[in-house]
Amino acid sequence: MNAGLLQGRGRWLAFTVATLALIGCLLLGWGAPRQALLSYLFAFLFFTGLSVGSLALAMVHALTGGAWGFCLRPYLLAAARTLPLQAMMALPLLIGVRVLYPWASPELLAHDAVLRAQSWYLEPYFFIGRTIVYFAVWLALLAAFERRIENPGFLPRIAAPGLIVYALTATLAAVDWVMSLLPHWHSTVFGMTIATGWMLAAAALATLCAMGAATSKDAQLPPRLSHDLGNLLLMFVLVWSYLAFMQYLTVWIADLPAETSWYIPRTLTTWRLLAWFLIAFHFAVPFTVLLSRRAKRRRTWLAWIAALLLIANLVDALWLVVPDEHPQGLVLHWTDLFAPLGLGALWLCVFIGRAPARRVRASASLSTPHPAGHAHG
């Protein structure tokens, strides 16, 4: 059975699952719209991160070079090409902005001086406009990058300003979509933590695809290339963990009510189970395994670590969003399952259609010369 037929069947299966799951999420959320929208938001945050983070990582490679990027590029571009889908998937959040975000409630605004002081920025139509601008900018970057993909000498001219724009827009999007769920809380590190997590998830997905494509003998990756991919994941794990820890440490030292209000439900209730899960599987386990030179050069080990990081990133999105609705402790609803299942299957449907139908040979990934070399460690 050829790869094209398998892709076609996979897309139809993904589309069917997506349709059923999203219908289930809609029906279950009919009586609890905010709960359904929060479930939808954390799933939307995760899959948008895969799309935008993949574009950012492709731009990083355009600046730094290295064989790792030529190996991952087909999968990074396939993930980035799902951005039009994510732009459409933002519609439920924009329609339900007054249900989802407390600052959009006129009754609450009338009795909260802090919200009134922020009303120039936290305003529904301005929020909708900013979200449209984020996706317009990301789609423009994707179009410009793909238009010059055959001209490696010109790509850095797009990638250099593109990464600056990514850092700015990803930070603002994180503030708008997630941090404003608790408008009295502020963190200058929050946006960059999410932006780094998006790139980590993108690297994990592309690495997992590359490891899955390297099953046959003619597509085996050279050990030094697997080593580079492991180092890439290790670097993002360290940066994400550093930013997350510094944010927590700063809040803990300051011990101000407006700042601790975000961490109290996530660390002093049963939601701390997810916090410990993230410490273990978003940092400790990947960090320990990826320190091993032998583990980084084994396809199976690298694939498992990449899959673990993807799962942990999804759990992180849930931990960032859902506790605002249930500050008393860990409570999960069926919408927390159906929303990521539906959005994920729909995202996968588009990703499969954009991914390379044939396996990417390792030799091909090493054949394109570039002035920058490998990252060894």
- pLDDT band at residue 92, thresholds of 50, 70 and 90? very high
| Best mean pLDDT range from 25-34, 126-135, 142-151 | 126-135
Inter-residue contact 286 to 233 (CB < 8 Å) = yes
- pLDDT band at residue 7, thresholds of 50, 70 and 90? low
What's the mean pLDDT when you consider all of the chain?
A: 88
Mean pLDDT to the nearest integer, 211-219: 67
Inter-residue contact 170 to 198 (CB < 8 Å) = yes
pLDDT for residue 369 is more than 60: no
DSSP assignment of 193-247, as one string? HHHHHHHHHHHHHHHHHHHHHT-SGGGPPPHHHHHHHHHHHHHHHHHHHHHHHHH
- pLDDT band at residue 30, thresholds of 50, 70 and 90? confident
Give the residue among 314, 307, 306 at the shortest CA–CA distance from 290.
Answer: 306
What are the two backbone dihedrals, phi and then psi, of residue 153, each rounded to the nearest 5 degrees? -70, -25
Q: Rounded CA gap, 230 and 17, in Å?
A: 32
pLDDT for residue 367 is more than 80: no
pLDDT digits (tens, 9 = 90+) for 109-133: 777 888 888 888 999 999 999 999 9
Percent of the chain at pLDDT > 70 equals 90
Predicted confidence at residue 4, as pLDDT, reads 54
Mean pLDDT to the nearest integer, 35-47: 96
- pLDDT band at residue 339, thresholds of 50, 70 and 90? very high
Q: Rounded CA gap, 105 and 53, in Å?
A: 32
pLDDT digits (tens, 9 = 90+) for 271-328: 999 999 999 999 999 999 999 999 998 889 999 999 999 999 999 999 999 998 899 9
- pLDDT band at residue 21, thresholds of 50, 70 and 90? confident
